[in-house]
Amino acid sequence: MDAILLAIICIVGVILGIGVGVLGRKVLLAKSEETAVRRASEIITIAEADSKKLLQDTSREVSDVRREIEDEVRERRRDLVRQENRLENRESNLEKREQSVVDRSQSLDQKNEELDQAQVKIDQLEQQKITELETLSGLSVEDARSMIMQKSADEARHELMKQYYDLAQEYQQESEENARRVLTLAIHRMAAGVVSEHSIKSVPLPSDDMKGRLIGREGRNIRAIEAATGVDLIIDDTPEAVTVSCFDPIRRQIAVVALSQLVKDGRIHPARIEETVKKAQEEVDEEIRKEGERAIFETGVRGLGPELIKLVGRLKYRYSYGENILQHSIEVSQLAGMLAAEAKCNVEIAKAGGLLHDIGKALTHEIEGTHAEIGGDVARKYGIPHEVEIAIMEHHEEDKGSVEAFLVASADAISAARPGVRKDTLENYVKRMEELEAAASDFPGIEKVFAIQAGREVRVMVKPTEVDDISAANLARDVVKNIEEKLVYPGQIKVTIIRETRNSAIAK
């Protein structure tokens, strides 16, 4: 009973709450609508006031703009009036100038007519004078002009030839003086000593008993030494010495070093010989490298690789007429550099060409050909500049491809010609030239033979009536073969056959 009563009370309370809420909402909505209407009226009033003010401002601005435009139009009209006045004035001035030009043109035409009449009179007088001169001289105008032109040309040609001859004489004298000065300065600056070193060919022994130990039982030691070094040992009656013979100076040096160490150590048998020869080869290789670096340092040549430096060092063991090739190459490099400096040429190219000009001699025992050709191949192989290659290949030729090549050849000749440098005496030199000329004269049809360039070239003059062009080629080969069979000489000898025909007649 109580629960039902409580439920009824709750339901009544809810219904009453809903009714109160609905009633309150309606009241609030009525108040909000009244407030909105009042706010809208205020906004409309403010908008009407603002629009009236904006309309007034716009009208005022339009009036100002209209006034400015009217002022600008009036100003432009005044400018147009002024420009029109100026154009009228200019037109009037142009008409006056045109009239003045017309008057002047008429005056010039009249003067031109007068000048034409005067020119006609002058031409008539000139033709009359020319006719009188032709009558008096007996020559036409063309003949007189030709004579004058020919005489002028002859005088000008003679004057030019005279000046050319004077300049040629002057330049020749000046060039000879400069060449003497350059050579003198370079030779004076060069203070190299005379080479006195000789290739070693014998090894001293402490006693003659050592010869037997070097030979060994049944000759096994001497055979082992010769096989390991590639040399020939000559053990003869020479007291306390053994001679080393080999065409290769590097092998000979290795053998000398190995023999010296074996003699000093005293233990001589095939195994010890192989070990000692290997060490001697390493020592000689190291000495070659050091000598190459020393030459590079003394000459100041840069850019050479290790292999090329070793080839330069190998020249220490090469000699030509008693002159050490490495020392000669260093001297030629220094001389060529000095000559290039005096002649204002490329010093680096000259020094490098001088140092490497005989590099082919380090390989002449291994490669066939002249040392100049071998040197050129070496230069190309190791990437040496082309100018240096030309200097190497042409230092014994007459025609030079560059100034530096000529300087290297000159330095080579100066170095070889210094007193005491080479051991070839005058008597031996003359004898060698005579033998060379005699070997080239052993064939019929030869008229004269000349050995030139210190025996590096032979020129053979033949009788043209007995030797024709085809026979001359065969004769050159025969002369070369005869020289190779009869003479012993260093390097290469060039044979040139000269056949000259002269035809003459006498007019009577």
**Pick the residue with more confidence: 279 or 198?**
279
What type of residue sits at position 452?
I
**Strand arrangement of the beta sheet that strand 446-452 belongs to:** 446-452, 457-462, 494-499
> For 426-499, which CATH class?
alpha beta
**Local confidence band at 156 (pLDDT 50, 70, 90 cut-offs):** confident
- How far apart are alpha carbons 365 and 249 in whole angstroms? 9
Residue 30: per-residue pLDDT:
66
Which of the four pLDDT bands, split at 50, 70 and 90, describes residue 351?
A: confident
In this structure, what DSSP letter does residue 316 have?
G
Alpha-carbon 442 to chain mean position: 49
Same topology, domains 202-417 and 426-499? Answer is: no
Region 183-196 average pLDDT: 51
Average pLDDT over residues 256-284: 85
Structure tokens at 20: 């109160």
Do 497 and 458 meet the contact criterion of CB atoms below 8 Å apart?
no
pLDDT band of residue 322 (cuts 50, 70, 90) is low
Please, are residues 277 and 264 in contact by the beta-carbon 8 Å criterion? no
**If you average pLDDT over residues 60-65, what whole number do you get?**
81
Look up tokens 């403010």; give the residue.
46
Asked whether residue 280 carries a pLDDT value surpassing 70, the answer given is yes
Cα–Cα distance for residue pair 231/368, rounded to 1 Å: 20
The order of strands in the sheet holding 232-234 is: 202-204, 241-245, 232-234
Cα R_g (the chain), whole angstroms: 58
d(CA 321, CA 203): 22
Mean pLDDT of 396-403: 73
Residue 194: DSSP 8-state: P
pLDDT of 1 > 70? The answer is: no
Q: Would you state the pLDDT for residue 426?
A: 57
Question: CA torsion 326→328→329→334, rounded to 10°?
Answer: 130
Provide the Cα torsion 343, 345, 346, 350; round to 10°.
-50
Any idea which of 59-63, 272-276, 292-296 has the lowest mean pLDDT?
A: 59-63
DSSP 8-class letter at 346? -
pLDDT tens for each residue of 108-134: 888 888 888 888 888 888 888 877 776
Does residue 105 have a pLDDT over 50? Answer: yes
Q: What is the enclosing helix (H) or strand (E) of 167? A: helix 141-189
Q: If you average pLDDT over residues 135-147, what whole number do you get?
A: 71
- Gap between the Cα atoms of 256 and 244, Å rounded: 7
In this structure, what is the dihedral angle of CA atoms 305, 306, 308, 310, given to the nearest 10 degrees?
Answer: 160
Mean pLDDT, rounded, for 145-172? 76
Q: pTM for this structure?
A: 0.49
Report whether pLDDT(157) > 70: yes
Q: Tell me, what's the pLDDT at 191?
A: 47
User: What is d(CA 141, CA 147) in angstroms, rounded to the nearest whole number?
Assistant: 10
The Cα angle at residue 23 between residues 20 and 28, in degrees rounded to 5: 120
Q: Is the pLDDT of residue 20 over 80?
A: no
Domain range 202-417, CATH architecture: Orthogonal Bundle (1.10)
Question: Per-residue pLDDT averaged across 237-245, rounded?
Answer: 79
In the chain the first and final C-alpha atoms are separated, in Å, by: 188
Q: Is the dihedral of CA 391, 393, 396, 398 positive or negative?
A: negative
Q: What is the pLDDT of residue 185?
A: 60
List of residues 6+ apart from 459 with CB closer than 8 A: 449, 450, 452, 496, 498
**Mean pLDDT, the chain, integer:** 79
- Provide CB contacts within 8 A for 468, sequence distance 6+: 499
Q: What percent of the chain has pLDDT over 90?
A: 0
Mean pLDDT of 290-303: 86
pLDDT above 70 for 368 = yes
- Looking at per-residue confidence, does 159 or 365 come out higher? 159
164 or 104, higher pLDDT:
104
For the chain, what are the domain ranges? 139-187, 202-417, 426-499
pLDDT at position 376: 83
- Residue 192 has a pLDDT of 47
pLDDT of residue 211: 77
Mean pLDDT for the stretch of residues 199-209? 71
What pLDDT, in 10s, does the model give residues 449-467?
988 876 778 899 888 888 8
In this prediction, residues 170-184 reach a mean pLDDT of 69
pLDDT band at 197 (very low <50, low <70, confident <90, very high): very low
pLDDT at 417: 63
- What does 375-428 look like in DSSP terms, one character per residue? HHHHHHHTT--HHHHHHHHTTTSSS-SSHHHHHHHHHHHHHHHSTTSS---HHH
Higher pLDDT, 190 or 258: 258
> Three-state SS across 442-504?
CCCCEEEEEEEHHHCEEEEEECCCCCCHHHHHHHHHHHHHHHHHHCCCCCCCEEEEEECCCCC
